[in-house]
């Protein structure tokens, strides 16, 4: 059976990664969390106290500490920078609050997009991010753009943080999500926006199973053609 490319874009905490992981598993495809890659670049920038004026040093850090993914003992995805497991570190507040400026750097985007395209070339893929349908995989067979209200997304992130033991406050999360939406949507390079041929789906009040069912149906329609 032929394999397809599925691009899932949308703002922070719109449920992209949760559903993308499930769909990839069901289809036996690779799942690529591109947000984790921008978080890795941000982690390296903070660790090395680099500013936006030191892009060559950041690119060098990315080269000497390649980003890779593997499965942990419990089946969950682990993120590595060189030999270091940074799965939890890249979800901490300092990384979250700095990822917008790092992901707005054109040279960083160029490098990470090239890596993403190389991974996609290996076979069936479900990729989630902000610019997958518009820039990374413009020819993806299925493009989904997930949205949800700021309130619902803040609540989702609050619960996620609680599970991971990351301290957070709901009101602050709402402000941070709204601020990140604004920055992601208004940056010059590859802003967050739905591709013209993407299907927009509002997940407010919809269960994870409901979103998975919707996307799976669309994927099956393409695969059955
Ligand atoms: O999906 P996330 O919240 O983990 O993503 C973290 C940040 O990375 C997000 O605020 C914007 C950036 N990002 C991006 O610019 N392009 C992508 N394809 C994925 C994420």
Per domain, the residue ranges of the chain are: 5-219
**Ligand 1: distance of its center to the CA of 222 in Å?**
27
b/e for 89-102, b at 16 or more Cβ within 10 A? bbbbeebbeebbeb
What value does the mean pLDDT take over residues 176-189? 90
Strand 5-9's sheet: what is its strand order?
A: 30-33, 125-129, 5-9, 142-147, 199-202
Percent of the chain with pLDDT over 90: 83
Q: What local confidence, expressed as pLDDT, does residue 3 receive?
A: 92
What value does the mean pLDDT take over residues 2-21? 93
Q: What token pair was written down for 208?
A: 């994870």
Are 30 and 122 a contacting pair, CB within 8 Å? yes
Q: Name the CA radius of gyration of the chain, rounded.
A: 17
- Index of the ligand 1 atom closest to the CA of residue 136: 18
Q: Which of 11, 38, 161 to mutate to test the pocket of ligand 1 (most atoms within 8 A of CB)?
A: 38
pLDDT greater than 90 at residue 43? yes
**Ligand 1: distance of its center to the CA of 224 in Å?**
32
pLDDT greater than 90 at residue 54? yes
**Which residues fall in the annotated binding site?**
10-18
Q: What local confidence, expressed as pLDDT, does residue 187 receive?
A: 87
Q: Is the full-model pTM beyond 0.75?
A: yes
Q: Could you give the C-alpha distances from 95 to 89, 91, 101, 102, 119, in angstroms and in order?
A: 8, 7, 11, 10, 24
> What letter does residue 134 receive in the DSSP assignment?
I
Q: What local confidence, expressed as pLDDT, does residue 99 receive?
A: 94
Are 47 and 107 a contacting pair, CB within 8 Å? no
User: Closest by alpha carbon to 52, among 191, 178, 189, 193?
Assistant: 189
**Ligand 1: distance of its center to the CA of 141 in Å?**
22
Q: What is the mean pLDDT of the chain?
A: 94
Distance between CA atoms of 45 and 57, rounded to whole angstroms? 9
Q: Tell me whether strands 5-9 and 125-129 are parallel, antiparallel or unpaired.
A: parallel
Give CATH for domain 5-219. 3.40.50.300
Question: Who wins on pLDDT, 111 or 164?
Answer: 111
Which residues have CB under 6 Å of ligand 1?
12, 34-35, 38-39, 99-100, 103, 129-131, 180, 184
Q: What local confidence, expressed as pLDDT, does residue 174 receive?
A: 95
Q: What local confidence, expressed as pLDDT, does residue 74 receive?
A: 81
Question: Who wins on pLDDT, 198 or 190?
Answer: 198
Distance between CA atoms of 177 and 158, rounded to whole angstroms? 11
CA angle 199/137/211 to nearest 5° reads 35
Residue 211 pLDDT class (50, 70, 90 cuts): very high
What value does the mean pLDDT take over residues 185-208? 93
Tokens 């060189």: give the residue: 82
Residue closest by Cα to atom 4 of ligand 1 = 35
**Ligand 1: distance of its center to the CA of 100 in Å?**
8
């Amino acid at each position: 059976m032929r394999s397809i490319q599925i691009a899932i874009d949308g703002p922070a905490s719109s449920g992209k990664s949760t559903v993308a992981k499930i769909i990839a598993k069901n289809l036996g495809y690779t799942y690529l969390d591109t947000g984790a890659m921008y978080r890795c670049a941000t982690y390296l920038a903070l660790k090395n106290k680099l500013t936006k004026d030191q892009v060559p040093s950041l690119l060098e850090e990315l080269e000497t500490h390649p980003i890779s993914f593997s499965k942990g003992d419990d089946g969950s995805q682990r993120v590595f920078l060189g030999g270091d497991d940074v799965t939890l570190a890249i979800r901490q507040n300092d990384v979250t609050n700095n990822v917008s400026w790092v992901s707005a750097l054109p040279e960083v985007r160029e490098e990470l997009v090239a890596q993403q395209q190389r991974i996609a070339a290996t076979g069936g893929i479900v990729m989630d991010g902000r610019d997958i349908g518009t820039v990374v995989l413009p020819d993806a067979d299925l493009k989904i753009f997930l949205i949800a209200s700021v309130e619902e997304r803040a609540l989702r992130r609050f619960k996620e943080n609680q599970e991971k033991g990351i301290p957070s406050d709901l009101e602050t999360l709402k402000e941070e999500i709204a601020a990140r939406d604004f920055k992601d949507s208004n940056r010059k390079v590859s802003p967050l926006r739905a591709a013209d041929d993407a299907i927009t789906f509002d997940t407010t009040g919809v269960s994870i199973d409901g979103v998975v069912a919707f996307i799976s149906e669309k994927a099956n329609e393409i695969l059955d053609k």
